A and B are shown apart, each in its own frame.
Chain A
Amino acid sequence: MLALKSLTKSFKATTAVDSACLEIEQGEMVGVIGRSGAGKSTLLRLINRLSDPTAGEIVFDGKDVAKMRGRELRKWRSDCAMIFQQFNLVGRMDVLGNVISGRLFEIPSWRAMARVWTPEERALAIRALDRLDMAQTALQRAETLSGGQQQRVAIARALAQEPRMMLADEPIASLDPLNAKVVMDALRAINRQDGITVMCNLHTLDTARNYCDRIVGMLKGRVVFDGTPAQLTPDVVRDVYGAEHGEIDESATSTSLRGETGQRPVVAHA
């Protein structure tokens, strides 16, 4: 179980994350929503310590991640995989190498830097790619793939880590609707089949509703909503996004292919 206790991150003038308290059980699929700048990205990056907290604790399995350093920290990062909006793959390296790099923590440095992989590592990587239907691109350079394909490779890399939890920072923000669906389906499948906790920053409400068991809403760095999709009424939505007047039209940012929100279906083809 992951527990965030009064987690705070402030820069000189602003507080990006303000005393966030959250408890996430193993196996949950959590969607984090909020307007741009609400602190969603910072929150996720605090969890895997790509950013360091100013105050508070991050407790996983009884240990405080916020205080980890060196090898212990790297072990945590290998247990806690991250998917980025811009994929963050190594462009000039082949897809296979990118996926295997998920196991960097386990692979001895010299083998990693010389890029000498064992058959077990290769097999693991191919199986992960196969789950994402990308095994046929294994020997291509990652930069030759399209955005949607690269994100799937990134997910395969995360799978190769054999993680306990996955953080996804706006994983579909740069993708077209078809690829967005593929990626979100993959994340949900991993969550259901492997029992891996998934925490997802999303900027489209309907995606959050469709895929997540639990939704966390953030505004100005504070957690202002924590509940099920059903509890996310239009009033609550308005509070989370801090809209002053009028209704928020969720379909304005919808990337769904069918009218699954029950509202006017949006034309969304590539």
Chain B
Amino acid sequence: MTDATAGGTKGGRKDPVTLFERHRAEMLRARRGTTILLGVLFVGFTLWSAWISNFTPQRLAEGLPRIFEYFQTITPALEWDKLFVGRDASGDAVPGSITFWYTDFWKYMELLGVTILMALTATMLGAGAAFLMCFPAARNLTPNYPVYWITRRFMEFCRGVPEILFALVFVFMVGIGPLAGVLAIAVHTAGALGKLFAEVNENASLKPVDGIAAVGGTWAERMLLGVFPQVAPNLISYGLLRFEINVRSSAIVGFVGAGGIGQELNRTISFYSDDRVLAVLILVVVTVTLIDLLSERVRERFIGTEST
């Protein structure tokens, strides 16, 4: 239908299909370079990372059955007819019952309690430190630039180093036990919450701050009376969220000797490969889930009432 000779004109206008094809070819050519480069990089990186992680089909083939074996060993040998049987005449638990599986139940509960307390204390300490730092670390509120820079770098350090490493260090400093865990999580929380708090502060309105400045308030008064009332609900919400996360961390940090249920879990996994592993694991998962749900409820109610 159209006269598709190169540069063919039709009464002064070029043929639209040719124009389009030419334009498309140009665009593709321009894009192709980058697309091919990215594609090659991606595939290359994938293959390299598989090699470096020993993620070969051979290893997988060896490993997968062993994974299933392992899960078998840690599954408890429960018998239906003995499930809810209590202790027998001589005070021993009967094998095949839940009581037997959870022989150390109260020990675990105590450790879980300590773990939750660890998280609570660490969150309070960390949030307190974060609160002190979040005003100098806010670009629009800080008294001067060096203070801002130092506070921000310090918070990044606290946040960047994994809690387990802090835990290792603190275990060395104060010995094995929950104190090391509390300190490690508190330091990490100070960095993480500090950054979040500072970001909230940077989005606060400066109008009340001006108002307090105009009546003769000091910098601290400007922060606490001008900024804090605005951001308080957000800070509390982030704090509660952090407590949730910290309960998880408290369980983990025990792996390096910093107390709580983690220490017990590490012991069980490393020394015994039996059903006690699953016993502790289940308790940990249930506890964390419960705390998550509770915290979500509290946060919803808090934010809900605030917005009325």
Contact = CB atoms under 8 A, between A and B. Distances in A.
Q: Do chains A and B interact in one complex? A: yes
Contacts of A112: 217, 221, 224-225
A82 interface: yes
B207 A74 contact: no
A109 B221 contact: yes
Interface in A164-204: none
Interface string A127-159: 000000000000000000000000000100100
Nearest to B207: A88
Contacts of B211: 84, 87-90, 101, 154, 157
B262 interface: no
B225 A88 contact: no
A75 B212 contact: no
A105 B221 CA distance: 10
Contacts of A75: 216
17 contacts: A50-B210, A50-B213, A74-B217, A74-B218, A78-B216, A84-B210, A87-B211, A90-B212, A90-B226, A91-B230, A104-B215, A104-B216, A109-B220, A109-B221, A112-B225, A113-B221, A154-B211
A77 interface: yes
A31 interface: no
B208 interface: yes
Contacts of B225: 90, 93, 101, 104, 112-113
Given A84-B210, A101-B225, 18 more contacts: A50-B210, A84-B211, A87-B207, A88-B208, A88-B211, A88-B214, A89-B211, A90-B212, A91-B230, A92-B230, A101-B212, A101-B215, A105-B217, A109-B221, A112-B221, A113-B220, A113-B225, A161-B216
A29 interface: no
| Main secondary structure on B side of the interface with A | helix
Nearest to B214: A82
Contacts of A154: 211
Interface size of A as a range: 20 to 34
A206 to B, nearest CB: 28
B229 interface: yes
Given A89-B208, A90-B225, A113-B224, A78 B215 contact: yes
A92 B221 contact: no
A102 B214 CA distance: 9
B290 interface: no
Nearest to A97: B225
A48 interface: yes
Given A109-B221, A112-B221, A113-B221, A88 B216 contact: no
Contact of A161 (B210, B215, B218): B215
Contact of A104 (B210, B221, B230): B221
B208 A90 contact: yes
B221 A86 contact: no
A91 B221 contact: no
Across chains A and B, which 6 residue pairs bring their CB atoms closest together, nearest first? A88-B211, A78-B216, A105-B216, A77-B216, A74-B216, A92-B229
Nearest to B227: A90
A81 interface: yes
A85 to B, nearest CB: 10
A101 B217 CA distance: 9
Nearest to B210: A88
A90 B229 contact: yes
Interface in B192-224: 207-208, 210-218, 220-221, 224
Contacts of B213: 50, 77
Contacts of A113: 220-221, 224-225
A38 B216 CA distance: 27
